[in-house]
Amino acid sequence: MIEINNLVKRYGNKTAVNGISFTVNDDEVLGFLGPNGAGKTTTMNIVTGYLSSTSGTVKVNGHDILEEPELAKKEIGYLPENPPLYYDMTVCEYLSFICDLKRVPKERRKNQLDRIISLVKITDVSDRLIGNLSKGYKQRVGIAQAMVGDPSILILDEPTVGLDPNQIIEIRKLIKSLAKSHSVIISSHILPEIQEIADRVVIINHGKIAAIDTLSDLSKRLSGQTKLLMTFRGPVKECSAKIRTLPGISSSVPRITDNKVNQIEIGINSDNTTDVRASLFFMMAKEGWPILELRSLDPTLEEVFLNITGSKRRS
């Protein structure tokens, strides 16, 4: 667990981080977001012990990063945006070097490196020069070095930047598997990645916390209600009227009617406190109106982010 309390960092007259407080729970993936210049990198550098704060505290599994830096840093594995790789080393040579830096006992090195290499799926390139690897494999080696020493917390800064779609999916799966036994902080400008991976998100803006919550709760707060889109077959007027009688539903609006296949879309709005999906399903099944699709129309993480930070899309 990481506990960040009233963190402040000033550079002369400029305040980069202004009173940030949040926690990262055990076995949780926390998305750490903010526009450029919001203070993300400064905060991560303080959490990892690379920078000292002007005031406030960071505790890593109970160890203060300033008062007990060695014990705190042992709990953290860090992947910067540009992985700190030595291109003239092979993968195994480089990871052995990282073991030296992190003072991993020699009797534990082979088992630990074998496990990490297998987990991040770089066994087939372990004897190759890092400089000859693809971008995706270099990212995997960067994640592997963060895992050396068995830290309980991983901090990943832009782990999928520059990767192709297949590589992004592979790294996403890897991060999800790591989250089963680690706390993970992931910072990225690729918001669909955060939406896919994170349990909670922290959004900072101008050095301050702008929002902390799960994506679903942030979306509900932004829209003020839960929005669903249901595609089904059946009589549109009768179905729409019956939907409005269900508890928690405030409105149902037909959107598209395809007379050829009797296929209809209805937008459904409900309050934030009621999950209407089960009652909707049973009502439709009872009437014999098959549901072809039911999906959320809540704001995406990108829409939530733009709303909270006041950013505007560029044309």
Q: Read off the CATH number of the domain in which 27 is found.
A: 3.40.50.300
Cβ count near 91 (within 10 Å): 25
182 and 254 together in one domain? no
Residue 295, pLDDT score:
87
133 and 252 part of one domain: no
Mean pLDDT in residue range 273-291 = 90
Give domain status of residue 104, yes or no.
yes
- pLDDT tens profile 27-53: 889 999 988 888 888 999 999 998 999
Q: Which residue has the higher pLDDT, 259 or 86?
A: 86
Residues 292 and 199 in one domain: no
Query: What is the domain extent for residue 234?
Result: 220-299
Whether 312 is in a domain gets the answer no
Say whether both 8 and 155 belong to one domain. yes
Tokens for 46, please give them. 């303080």
User: At 224, is the pLDDT very low, low, confident or very high (cuts 50, 70, 90)?
Assistant: low
| Runs of H (alpha helix) within the chain | 40-47, 69-74, 91-101, 106-119, 135-147, 165-178, 191-197, 215-223, 236-243, 277-287, 301-309
Q: pLDDT band for 123, please (50, 70, 90 cuts).
A: very high
- Examine the domain organization and report whether 140 and 234 are in the same domain: no
Task: Judge whether residue 168 has pLDDT over 90.
Answer: no
- Same-domain pairing of 186 and 226: no
Contact 289, 233 (CB under 8 A): yes
Would you say residue 102 lies in a domain?
yes
Same domain, yes or no: 186 and 258: no
Q: Are residues 182 and 256 in the same domain?
A: no
Does a structural domain hold residue 311? no
pLDDT greater than 70 at residue 313: no
**50 with 64, same domain?**
yes
- Does 304 fall in a domain? no
| Residue of 94, 176, 79, 179 lying closest to 131 (CA atoms) | 94
Residues 270 and 178 reside in one and the same domain: no
Looking at 214, 235, 253, the residue that finishes a domain is 214
- The whole model's pTM is what? 0.78
Structure confidence at residue 15 (pLDDT): 92
CA distance linking residue 274 with residue 290, whole number of Å: 22
Number of domains within the chain:
2
Q: Are 156 and 79 in contact (CB under 8 A)?
A: yes
CATH number for the domain spanning 263: value is 3.30.70.1340
